[in-house]
Structure 1
Amino acid sequence: MLKVIYILLCILGTFLPYSQFLPFVLEHGFDIRLFFEQLFANRISGFFGMDVIISSLVLWVFVFWEGTRLKMQNLWVYIASNLLVGVSLGLPLFLLMRQFQLEQQTDTAIS
């Protein structure tokens, strides 16, 4: 059941942010200056921007620390997911694959 929840969160975590990002890109292209200008247009949007940036850094540390501890492969995928979509995809995707790894290690230990 937990894996199903993570999969649903990956889907939501991709489609909801992109429902806002794609119209921006279609209207303005990949205008990084305008992107950051609008991201930090006021204190509330700046609050959310800073929160996401710090959350991304925390995710990267967690991915490398926990992923290395559990001997997970291809840890770069979760960082790429974070950079291409956001924490909303990177975190549930990592947690999903971590769950698979934990279950595999449990099955191996029992056998």
Structure 2
Amino acid sequence: MQRMRPIFLILAIWGAIHPMWYFLRWFGENGFDLAAMVEAWHANAASSGLVWDLTIAAVALTVWVLDDTLRTRYWPGLLAIPATFCIGVSCGLPLYLFLRLRPKGGAAPVA
């Protein structure tokens, strides 16, 4: 699994930059109005479904990160939670996998 670590880092970076580009573009066109952005996310049933899909995935990831962090006592893994809710699941999930697969010697215990 160590060979996957750089891939997860690349995906975390991509997952931070690519969605943020769209958010910043939207804010540039509409001003920094979070309420309007949330309203835009629910413009139709398809986008509402996607919002709920990502929200549920974010909550599931958070529960997993909390459980795994409490079990392994590897506290840097908690960085995935703000990454998930401030950027998105596209950053938070690969970031957590990158952090979780740290090199041997600092490896998290496997339960």
The answer to whether the superposition gives a TM-score over 0.5 is yes
Separation in structure 2 between the aligned mates of residue 83 and residue 92 of structure 1, nearest angstrom: 14
Structure 1: runs of 5+ lacking an equivalent? none
| 1:84 maps to which of 83, 86, 91 | 86
| 1:45 maps to which of 27, 37, 47 | 47
| 2:29 maps to which of 19, 27, 32 | 27
User: TM-score when scaled to structure 1?
Assistant: 0.86
Percent identity among equivalent residues? 29
User: TM-score when scaled to structure 2?
Assistant: 0.86
For residues 25-72 of structure 1, what are the alpha-carbon distances to aligned partners after superposition, in whole Å with 9 as ceiling and x for unaligned?
Answer: 112222122111110100110111001111110011010011111111
Bigger share in helix? 1
Distance 1:24 1:103, change over 3 A: farther
